[in-house]
Chain A
Amino acid sequence: MSELALNLGFQAQEQLGKSAAMHQQEDFLRLFVRHEAELRAFIGAVVRDAHAREDVFQETVVILWREFPRYDPGRPFGAWARGVAAKKLLEQRNNQRRSPLLCSPEAIRALADAAERATSDKRATLEALEHCVARLPDRSRRLLAMRYGQSQPPETIARNLGMTIAAVYQALWRLRGALRQCMRRYLARQDAG
């Protein structure tokens, strides 16, 4: 503990003396918060087990923070973060074959390229989501809240809502499809307007 405490104290002294370190922390947090959803999406597209996904996410964030002093601000942060995450995913894939990881290295690269091509404005996308979710029936919103707000597995949702598991899966597929279409239309209208 004393060694860690020493590190912490050293860090504190450094930060007291140098505003640059504080700025660096602020810069990191600013960029990280802006790109968090994309990073989660990228990792989530590959790892579906919630715990494994969170582990990969956290380990990626630690690496991003450690490597941030070497980050070139001329490069897009999102792409850099996805690169780090991709390496972590591949590492995870090699180390833990039991993990429900989807992708081969080639597929991970294809996914990273797809993310690179998708130029989304987070705020506009969230607005589109808000617009579309607000138009869903109460029952659908409740289903989404249970799945995404409380991370309930489909089995639990089925029990709570008196549905069959297959019906829950079916409803989630339809909802995601409907949201995707609705958001595309909304964003296209915003672009046109």
Chain B
Amino acid sequence: MDRRAEQLIDKHLDGCITQAEAAELDRLLVQHPAVAEALWETAHIDALLAIYWQGEAAVAVLPVRAAKSAGPARRALRRSLFVVAAGVLLVAVIIGLLQWDQEQGYRLMAGTVEVAGVPVSSITDNHTLRVVSNQAAVIRLAGGSRAELGPSTLAVFRGRNELGAQVIELLEGEGRFCVPRAAPPLCVHTAAGSVTAATTEFQVKLWPTEGKGDEQMQFRSLLVLAVAVSSGMVEVHSPDEHCVLPAGVQAVFGAETTTGGKSRDLSNWLPSGTVLGFTQKGAPFAVEKVLPGLTAALRLSDEQKKKLADAVDQTIDRREVRAAMALAKLDPKATETQKQEARRLVEQARAELKKQVDQILTAEQKALVEKLNTAVADAQAQVRDAMKDQFQALKNDPSNKEKVQKEYQERMRAAVEQRVMKLLDPDAQAAVKKAAAAQAAADKSSKSKTDDKKSSESKADEKKSAEGKKDDQR
């Protein structure tokens, strides 16, 4: 690659490329794979540098001061990936603090709130307020942040914490919070955990679980905290975990059940192939991904399902096992001994699950699992063989990759269906079809819910925008 291409890449990455130069670089990218590789490599270094320095800032809270020795840098890079993500958030928090315009106070924009039973028009720190109107109370915070507290919500505005973030204590109810650029960070504190955010929009809902819901639910925690992030990202600290949620994610905290206390609608629940002993190349295999509903062929009784659900809860779904899975796979600062111990715990849980499943399934069901495993493997081999030329061609021309993969999946599904249906009696065939239809309906409903939510959010945004314009006009 020549110096000219390097110059164009650097100019582009520094945002000072002219239109003519951009067109030239575009042409070079298409014509010379080496130029595309160089741009990728440099952009990758760029992204890593941002993560590196922002991680460093998160550790040192002194983003500009690079240490003379390699010590702090080494420490920064040894942090877990979650801490790096948390670091990015912290940097956003720091930037938010630096840009804070020192504005103080709150302004009630809409709705009615009362303190100690008396309606108030202004909000002051450290007084418990309740939203009494049927509509949400909209409160503007310093720097332009907004809090929309739902009807009957109980909250206390706590001023700023030691880091300068505005703190709202949510005692009960729900709120939608928007923190624009340049506003100070916001911390929503609840008894089930706290949410810290800068430059983001998120929703928090808190509700008590005592006396509500299924009798089988035995919550260790009395409060459930649900967090949904619309844009940006938030950091959540709950008594049991610390995590960063990116935009588009919703999560629930503080709702851990006691052992075996999870509620499942057993009539519709189907264990995954990974639980029932389906394997591929010796590893647990979610066979239902190839042919939806296939695990229904085992025609598990409700009692078996309950036992299987309990077995999963008591083995691979235990909190410590899930934590071990995460540690073994994710945590770069874990020592080899810790990782070995984590793997041992996971293996132990899997072995225990296998043992329990072995006792729950009948001999006929286990034999059927074996037969289905063989049929799926044969179908896979057949389709791979039939498509080997297409896979070979992909090595030279990967542009058809998606098309070939889609064809492979479709042919696999057809081949598996053809083979396994021959092994099943009519009742089992009907059970598989019914389960597949139920799965498809559930997927469709889930998609529809997502679309509806998107649509309602879009409408809400439009409404907000229109209201904003009205406010501006006023």
> Which A residues fall within an 8 A CB radius of B?
1-5, 7-12, 15-20, 25-26, 28-30, 32-34, 36-38, 40-42, 44-45, 48-49, 58, 61-66, 69, 72-73, 75, 83, 100, 102-104, 106-107, 109-111, 113-118, 120, 123, 125-127, 129-130, 133-134, 138, 141-142, 144-151, 154, 169, 172-173, 176-177, 179-180, 183
* Known contacts A18-B264, A58-B232, A114-B33: A5-B150 contact under CB 8 Å: yes
Q: Nearest Cβ distance between residue B243 and chain A, in whole angstroms?
A: 7
C-alpha spacing A73/B248, complex, angstroms: 20
List 6 other contacts, CB 8 Å, given A1-B148, A28-B249, A148-B52.
Answer: A9-B207, A16-B252, A103-B29, A126-B48, A138-B66, A147-B49
Chain A residue with the shortest CB-CB distance to B57:
A149
Contact with A along B7-26 (1 / 0, CB 8 A): 10010111111000010011
Chain B residue with the shortest CB-CB distance to A32:
B246
Contact partner, B205, options A9, A30, A72, Cβ 8 Å:
A9
* Known contacts A5-B174, A127-B77: A148-B205 contact under CB 8 Å: no
Contact partner, B44, options A37, A69, A100, A154, Cβ 8 Å:
A37
Q: Nearest Cβ distance between residue A111 and chain B, in whole angstroms?
A: 5
7 closest residue pairs by CB, A with B: A149-B53, A45-B43, A141-B66, A62-B248, A134-B70, A114-B36, A65-B248
In the complex, chain B residues whose CB is within 8 Å of the CB of A151:
50
Q: Answer yes or no: B405 CB below 8 A from chain A CBs.
A: yes
Q: A12 to B224, Cβ gap below 8 A?
A: yes
Question: Which applies to chain B's interface (DSSP): helix, strand, loop or mixed?
Answer: helix
In the complex, chain B residues whose CB is within 8 Å of the CB of A28:
249
Q: Nearest Cβ distance between residue B231 and chain A, in whole angstroms?
A: 6
Q: Which of A5, A10, A38, A111 has the most CB of B within 10 A?
A: A5
Q: Nearest Cβ distance between residue B329 and chain A, in whole angstroms?
A: 7
Contact partner, A104, options B30, B174, B250, Cβ 8 Å:
B30
Q: Nearest Cβ distance between residue A35 and chain B, in whole angstroms?
A: 10
* Known contacts A17-B262, A111-B36: A150-B248 contact under CB 8 Å: no
Chain A residue with the shortest CB-CB distance to B175:
A1
Q: B74 to A130, Cβ gap below 8 A?
A: yes
Q: A62 to B398, Cβ gap below 8 A?
A: no
In the complex, chain B residues whose CB is within 8 Å of the CB of A11:
226, 228, 250, 252
In the complex, chain A residues whose CB is within 8 Å of the CB of B91:
149
Q: Answer yes or no: B102 CB below 8 A from chain A CBs.
A: no
Question: Which applies to chain A's interface (DSSP): helix, strand, loop or mixed?
Answer: helix
* Known contacts A5-B150, A61-B248, A65-B249: A148-B50 contact under CB 8 Å: yes
* Known contacts A12-B252, A118-B40: A58-B63 contact under CB 8 Å: no
C-alpha spacing A106/B250, complex, angstroms: 36
Q: Answer yes or no: B378 CB below 8 A from chain A CBs.
A: no
In the complex, chain B residues whose CB is within 8 Å of the CB of A44:
13, 43, 46-47
In the complex, chain A residues whose CB is within 8 Å of the CB of B25:
102
Contact partner, B77, options A38, A83, A130, Cβ 8 Å:
A130
In the complex, chain A residues whose CB is within 8 Å of the CB of B462:
none
Q: Which of B73, B174, B248, B257 has the most CB of A within 10 A?
A: B248
Q: Answer yes or no: B265 CB below 8 A from chain A CBs.
A: yes
Contact partner, A142, options B64, B232, B265, Cβ 8 Å:
B64
Contact partner, A58, options B10, B231, B313, B460, Cβ 8 Å:
B231
Q: Answer yes or no: B453 CB below 8 A from chain A CBs.
A: yes
Q: B312 to A19, Cβ gap below 8 A?
A: yes
Q: A10 to B36, Cβ gap below 8 A?
A: no
In the complex, chain A residues whose CB is within 8 Å of the CB of B326:
26, 30
Q: B44 to A36, Cβ gap below 8 A?
A: no
Q: Nearest Cβ distance between residue A108 and chain B, in whole angstroms?
A: 9
Contact with A along B82-99 (1 / 0, CB 8 A): 101100000100010000
Q: A142 to B150, Cβ gap below 8 A?
A: no
C-alpha spacing A61/B233, complex, angstroms: 11
Q: Nearest Cβ distance between residue B284 and chain A, in whole angstroms?
A: 12
Q: B26 to A36, Cβ gap below 8 A?
A: no
Interface-facing stretch out of B357-365, B443-451, B465-473 = B443-451
Contact partner, A118, options B41, B66, B150, B456, Cβ 8 Å:
B41
In the complex, chain A residues whose CB is within 8 Å of the CB of B48:
37, 41, 125-126, 129
Q: B63 to A150, Cβ gap below 8 A?
A: yes
Q: B82 to A111, Cβ gap below 8 A?
A: no
In the complex, chain B residues whose CB is within 8 Å of the CB of A116:
398
Q: B460 to A4, Cβ gap below 8 A?
A: yes
Chain A residue with the shortest CB-CB distance to B6:
A177
In the complex, chain A residues whose CB is within 8 Å of the CB of B250:
8, 11
Q: Answer yes or no: B373 CB below 8 A from chain A CBs.
A: no
Chain A residue with the shortest CB-CB distance to B149:
A1
C-alpha spacing A17/B304, complex, angstroms: 18
Q: A134 to B73, Cβ gap below 8 A?
A: yes
Q: A107 to B26, Cβ gap below 8 A?
A: yes
Contact partner, B45, options A18, A111, A173, A176, Cβ 8 Å:
A176
Q: B40 to A45, Cβ gap below 8 A?
A: yes
C-alpha spacing A148/B55, complex, angstroms: 11
Q: Nearest Cβ distance between residue B131 and chain A, in whole angstroms?
A: 11
Q: Answer yes or no: B409 CB below 8 A from chain A CBs.
A: yes
Q: A129 to B33, Cβ gap below 8 A?
A: no
* Known contacts A1-B176, A102-B25: A118-B50 contact under CB 8 Å: no
C-alpha spacing A123/B122, complex, angstroms: 52
